[in-house]
Structure 1
Amino acid sequence: MTSIVLRPKKIRRVAWACAVGLVVVFTIVGLLLGDTPTGVIFRTSDQVAMIVLGFLLAGGVLLLTRPRVTADAEGVDVRNVVTSHHFDWNDVLSVSFPDGAAWARLELPEDEYISVMAVQAVDREYAVSSVRALRELHKAARV
C-alpha cells in the first residue's frame, strides 16, 4: 500500500530563518536594554521579557511549518496551520489547484473545499508532483 507525506518546502526554510532571526534580534535588544542614555530604567525583568517575546514570536512564525498531508489508499489527512481534517477518498470529489491559488485544495460535496496548505504554489515542481501524486491515489481509491 502506497502512502505519501507532503510538507511545504520553501516556507519551512523561510520560517526557520525568520524564527532564528527574531530570537537573535530580540535577545540582542533585550541584553542591550540596560544601557540606554534616555533616562528610562530597564530592569532585568524587562530584559527577560524582551527575550521571551522573541521566542513567542518565533513560535508563532514556526506555526507556518506545521502543514502536512498524509495520504494512502484509504484517505487523506490534511493538517494546516491550526486545523486538522481526515477524509476518506469517497468523500473527496477531486484534488485541484486553481489558477492563481496559493495552495492546492480538496473539492468536497456541496461546493465545499478544504485548503491543502502543504502543497504551495511557491514550491513549483514539488507542488505539481504532489498534486499528481494525490490525484493518483484519489483515482486508484475511487475505481
Structure 2
Amino acid sequence: MSDLPTLPVTFRPGSTRAVLLTAAVAIFVVITAVAMLLKQLSPAERLSFVVTALLLDAVLLLLARPKVVADEDGVTVVNLTNKRRLDWAEILQVTLRPGDPWVFLNLSDGTSLPALGIQPGLARQRAIADARALRALAEARSVADPERSQG
C-alpha cells in the first residue's frame, strides 16, 4: 500500500503538453508579428491573421487538455472534448498494452474508456509508471469497496 500515490493525484502527458503549449505561444507570436509587419495588409486582414492564430491555438489547447485525476471517491477522465467521472467500483481494469496510444479503462458496464491523460507518446516510461500507479489505485480501491465484488 505504501507504493500507492497520495490522493488526489493528476496524471497527464507532461512532455506532450509542454510541446503543445510552447507551440501555441510560438504560433500566436509569429503569425501576429507577420500580420503587423506586412505593411500592405489592411486592418481587417491583420485581424484575420490574429483570428487564425487564435483558432490554431484553440486546437492546440484542446490537444493539451487530457488528464486523469484520481481522488478518494473515484477517477475523473478528461479527454479532448468530454469529461467523465467514474466511481472506483466502475473500473474493472486499467490497461496499457504495447502499441496502445493511451491507457484504456475497462468498465463494469462492459465498455472501455480511453484515458488520454496517460499516453506513451513522448515519455513512454512515465506513461508506464502512471498506468501502473492508476492500476494499483484501482485494485486497492476495489478491495476497499465491498459493493464492487457483488457487481
TM bin (shorter chain): 0.7 to 0.9
What's the CA shift string for 1:38-63, capped at 9, x where partnerless? xxxx3111112211221221122111
1:131 pairs with 2:136: no
Distance 1:3 1:66 in 2: 18
TM, length-normalised to structure 1? 0.86
Extract unaligned runs of 5+ from structure 2.
Answer: 1-5, 144-151
Identical-pair percentage: 33
SS at match of 1:120: coil
Between stretches 102-111 and 44-53, larger displacement belongs to 102-111
Q: Work out whether 1:99 is the aligned partner of 2:109.
A: no
TM-score of the two chains, using structure 2 as the length reference: 0.82
DSSP 3-state at the match of 2:81: coil
| Alpha-carbon shift at residue 111 of structure 1 (Å) | 4.3
Query: What amino acid maps onto 1:72 in structure 2?
Result: D
Q: Does structure 2 retain, via aligned residues, the 8 Å contact 1:119–1:130?
A: yes
The structure 1 segments of at least 4 consecutive aligned residues displaced by more than 2 Å after TM superposition are 32-35
Superposed CA RMSD in Å reads: 1.7
**Equivalent residue number for residue 38 of structure 2:** 33
Determine the structure 2 residue equivalent to 1:86.
85
Partner residue, 2:115: 116
